[in-house]
Amino acid sequence: MAVSLLDARLSPASAERTGSRARTIGLTLGFVGVALAMVTLINAIAAGVLAGRTGEETTVARLLAWSFGLTTTAFGTVKFGIAVILVGILTRLWVRVDGVKDALPALKPASGGAAPEVGETPTPYGGAVVSVAAPRPLFIHRMTRTMWAPMLAMGAMGVLAGFILSLVQTDSIVSDPALARSQQAWVQGLQFLGEGLLLSGISFLLGTILGSLRKGGGEVQESVGVAVKTLVMPTTAKAFVGLMMLGLMVEIFQFIAYVVVATFDDPARVTSYFTWLGPVREAGLGILLSGIVLALAAIAKALGFQFWRLTEIVSRGR
Amino acid sequence: MTSTIHPGSRYEVTDRALGLNLPQRIGSVLWLPMLAMALMAFPVGVVLGAVRANEVATGGSPDTIAALGHFVPAVNFLGFASVFTAISFAIVRILGEFRTGGGKVQEPQVEGSRR
């Protein structure tokens, strides 16, 4: 799927179809996620009502156990929906590139004057590299193109495995509390690793969009016979890669820590570890989301640069 | 600047490129402070969580444990609210680039037709 969608150029009709299908699937997944979150809301209200009654402690504990699994699954479903919509954007991005390629020769003035020298040049959007041909993809772009699908697949599996385990945990709460504690640790570790992988998949998709903007921009300029100006990787893009790696490492760390906690027998020790692991796993997701902010800022900068370059070609012809 | 708004298809015809609208100007200014706030909130949450875990492990004051139990989610949710706001503002920035860039690409054609 990754190769057919992102490496091979789809025909406009095919890209339109794939993009529309991705949008429909993505929005459906979004609605499913919200519906699952509504179920957990009702569940939490029920648990809240029962919590004040004597003799309902086990029921409340069971409700909260699978409610946690379902809440995280709801968030995971929405994230997966966002990823599918990004795939749709990627397929349509190439239609835009082909459209500009078709339209630009008619807009470009015939005499453009001397072409700029090959090398670095300043632009209103930062430094750019001038070359005669479209640039080759950077290592990070090749990596993001390869990694987004496995990340999303592993993330979905982690979240679902954790949800199934949370259902199993509801049975152990009465029969074997120690086993239930161990399962609770596994549920949290697995689901938040899955959430981290899903956000990493989204980050890799945004990286792929950045790579496609770079490649497409080069192709457009090369096709009209002007010097190819390519924006030097912005600082936001570099920081994005760093935050994404850091966030993913935090999520892997919390998973390992939860697996270790699952082996503890002492309930007090388990509670103490759960207390600090909660904010750590949330921080991991927060760092990944911060990386996504920077990726979006880098996309905004790349788009601004491309519009500036198009304007330069249309007005000066070089 | 002359401007004609077409309400049916909701686009505007002007004789020069438009700048950013108010939400896009706000988004361009505020995405970075929001991101900075999020990046400060999450480490604070981790530190408060560690302090609370220490109190739990060492049999600390129940009042402190209960208070920290409220502070930790509050700080984390402030972080999430900030980071999602930053994402929204960054998307608004992208929309702003489409708006201003699309106008600027058309502008040389308008100027060319005037000459």
> Which band of pLDDT confidence, cut at 50, 70 and 90, is reported for residue A6?
low
- Output the six-digit token pair for B37: 């706030």
Q: Residues of B with CB below 8 A from A296's CB? A: 87, 90-91, 93-94
The mean pLDDT value for A1-15 works out to 59
Q: Residues of B with CB below 8 A from A293's CB? A: 31, 34-35, 38, 83, 86-87, 90
> Which band of pLDDT confidence, cut at 50, 70 and 90, is reported for residue A11?
confident
A250-271 residue pLDDT tens: 999 999 999 999 999 999 999 9
Q: What pLDDT, on a 0 to 100 scale, did the predictor assign at position A4?
A: 45
Distance from CA of A48 to the nearest CA of B (A): 18
**Largest Cα–Cα separation, chain A:** 87
Give the ipTM of the model, two decimals please: 0.88
Q: Residues of B with CB below 8 A from A268's CB? A: 56-57
Mean pLDDT of chain A: 90
- pTM to 2 decimal places: 0.90
If contacts are CB pairs under 8 Å, which of residues 76-135 in chain A contact chain B?
107
Among A275, A287, A308, whose Cβ lies nearest the Cβ of B42?
Answer: A287
A148-171 residue pLDDT tens: 999 999 999 999 999 999 999 998
B23-78 residue pLDDT tens: 999 999 999 999 999 999 999 999 999 999 999 999 889 999 999 999 999 999 99
Residue A239 to residue A235: CA distance in whole angstroms: 6
Residue B110 to residue B17: CA distance in whole angstroms: 10
* Interchain proximity A300–B79, CB inside 8 Å: no
**Between B35 and A110, where is the model more confident?**
B35
Distance from CA of A92 to the nearest CA of B (A): 15
Among A275, A299, A311, whose Cβ lies nearest the Cβ of B105?
Answer: A311
- Tell me whether A157 touches chain B (CB under 8 Å): no
Least confident of A12-26, A37-51, A267-281: A12-26
- Tell me whether A269 touches chain B (CB under 8 Å): yes
A216-245 residue pLDDT tens: 999 999 988 888 999 999 999 999 999 999
Asked if A240 contacts A162 with a C-beta cutoff of 8 angstroms, the reply is no
* Interchain proximity A311–B108, CB inside 8 Å: yes
- Output the six-digit token pair for B41: 């909130």
Among B38, B94, B104, whose Cβ lies nearest the Cβ of A311?
Answer: B104
Cα A105 from chain centre: 36
If contacts are CB pairs under 8 Å, which of residues 17-56 in chain B contact chain A?
31-32, 34-35, 38-39, 41-43, 45-46, 48-50, 52-53, 56
Q: What pLDDT, on a 0 to 100 scale, did the predictor assign at position B26?
A: 93
User: Residues 6 or more apart from A23 whose CB is under 8 A from it?
Assistant: A85, A88
Residue A109 to residue A48: CA distance in whole angstroms: 71
* Among A40, A117, A116, A110, CA closest to A72: A40
Cα A286 from chain centre: 13
Share of chain A above pLDDT 70, in %: 95
**Between A65 and A116, where is the model more confident?**
A65
**Between A179 and A119, where is the model more confident?**
A179
Size of the A and B interface in Cβ pairs below 8 Å: 115
Q: What pLDDT, on a 0 to 100 scale, did the predictor assign at position B22?
A: 92
> Which band of pLDDT confidence, cut at 50, 70 and 90, is reported for residue A18?
confident
Q: What pLDDT, on a 0 to 100 scale, did the predictor assign at position B109?
A: 63
A131-135, B44-48, B95-99: range with highest mean pLDDT = B44-48
Share of chain B above pLDDT 90, in %: 65
- Tell me whether B94 touches chain A (CB under 8 Å): yes
Evaluate if residue A2 carries a pLDDT over 50. no
